[in-house]
Structure 1
């Protein structure tokens, strides 16, 4: 079972190196998209062997904009272009960390070949707070000067609500997922062929949490989707970002049946990563 890890990162080269080392396996390759706003030189030693490489077509990533979608798609294209017969492609952030051994992760995915592990909720029925992301015009991707929010208000007051194309069901939630290589190739090809996709989602807020689930749910791959992205995340603080995991979360991490967890900051608490390394050894 061959596995490609795609890591979207923007900071903390030491923590990224630790993640890369932890993911290392004879049947895996690791690809890193480093935000183009970040100077790459301190990160270059991470790719010290032929199993680790940086994505060449880097994008400047801005929170909430389509840029992170484009960065992900560019990265998928480069991974597919290698011609390596990967079974799954696993999308992680630089602040994620495996909470199972690499052998366990590879064995699990080998037993679930062809499956797509995504947190996928119906926007209409299960994730209604995301409806404005689709119905309203969001101009963040246009990089307009000051006054963008006021312009958005004016545009949305004048124009009718946006709608998905007829027959397309909007799905989404977490941007992180593990999917079969075939489904990733389908996504890349679909975005190229169906020009409405990029046009529509460039006007959506946080399109990275919507676009991939929506494409696959409305495709022949729907039957292979599992509503679980294999990621332990704690949203108990009720903030826009999940709780930073520390030694306070050690017991929950060890007890979890997930493969990965987020998010961590080794500068704030590296002991929890040491703890994970011990129980996943």
Structure 2
């Protein structure tokens, strides 16, 4: 049986050498790569152009953390990949991810499934995100005005028990990590839904971190919900090992055994410097 054809969609903004290493770790005749470079980035990603089946998409978005711009960039990747070829699966990655398996295991797994893989967590504590206005694509939430934005959120949240700030959506709220491995059927449903439900799409423009609910709500409120497995096959560690450690944790060599035992296909977050030994050991795994 021929292996299914896969599209790997990568959201990147820095570290072109690492992004090239990520792509090269996955190179196979049935693997194609589509890379979105943040429009703000000044770094040179031309090194990717020499890698087989790798495309730098031309329709670039200036991406801001927590903004709808990340959803738009992801949709652009999905549209360009879908127009390029009939892919069986679409895998969304970041430039801070790495492949932690082998192509043989990866292809074997997806040759024997038709499900989609999307992280679905308990979204109850985060429903406020759809009920207030946020402005992350207008003001950089990680810049000098970040405190004003957080205070604006807090004031709106305190008002929610008393007033309706935004008109509620009829769809049930779902939430989870933005990274996914979706079947062709799921991707076609997403793209068609976005074409025919423009008001739903617009509703997320001023929503807090919409990339963690937009795709989830469309698919989990659809006829395809039973085809969604609530795990995205990514190893991501949200448990601090030292006080005030940024989350998700930056993975290091001491995380290797946990990564392998998880049987996930990708891991994040990766740092070129702090994760250097880990990356080398994962490469040795593939060579072995």
1:22 and 2:25 correspond: yes
**TM-score between the two structures when normalised by the length of structure 2:** 0.88
**Structure 2: distance between partners of 1:86 and 1:199:** 28
- Cα displacement (A) at 1:280: 3.0
1:135 and 2:128 correspond: no
Gaps of 5+ in 2: none
- Cα displacement (A) at 1:15: 0.6
Q: 1:247 to 1:135 in 2, by over 3 A?
A: same
**Structure 2: distance between partners of 1:130 and 1:154:** 16
- Cα displacement (A) at 1:198: 2.1
Alignment partner of 2:56 out of 50, 54, 57: 54
- Cα displacement (A) at 1:188: 1.6
Question: In the alignment, what sits opposite 2:164?
Answer: 160
Question: In the alignment, what sits opposite 1:44?
Answer: 46
Question: In the alignment, what sits opposite 2:93?
Answer: 92
- Cα displacement (A) at 1:159: 5.5
- Superposition RMSD on alpha carbons, in Å? 2.2
Alignment partner of 2:14 out of 8, 11, 15: 11
Counterpart secondary structure, 1:220: coil
Q: How many residues align?
A: 273
- Cα displacement (A) at 1:143: 4.5
**Structure 2: distance between partners of 1:150 and 1:254:** 41
**Structure 2: distance between partners of 1:201 and 1:159:** 20
Q: 1:232 to 1:203 in 2, by over 3 A?
A: same
Alignment partner of 2:210 out of 207, 210, 214: 207
**TM-score between the two structures when normalised by the length of structure 1:** 0.90
Would you identify which runs of 4 or more consecutive aligned residues in structure 1 move more than 6 Å? 153-156
**Structure 2: distance between partners of 1:141 and 1:152:** 15
Alignment partner of 2:172 out of 163, 166, 169: 169
Q: Is the 8 A contact 1:164 1:170 kept in 2?
A: no
Gaps of 5+ in 1: none
- Cα displacement (A) at 1:76: 0.8
Q: Is the 8 A contact 2:127 2:173 kept in 1?
A: no
The equivalences for 1:104-123 within 5 A come to: 104-113=105-114, 115-121=115-121
Q: Is the 8 A contact 2:239 2:247 kept in 1?
A: no
- Cα displacement (A) at 1:276: 0.9
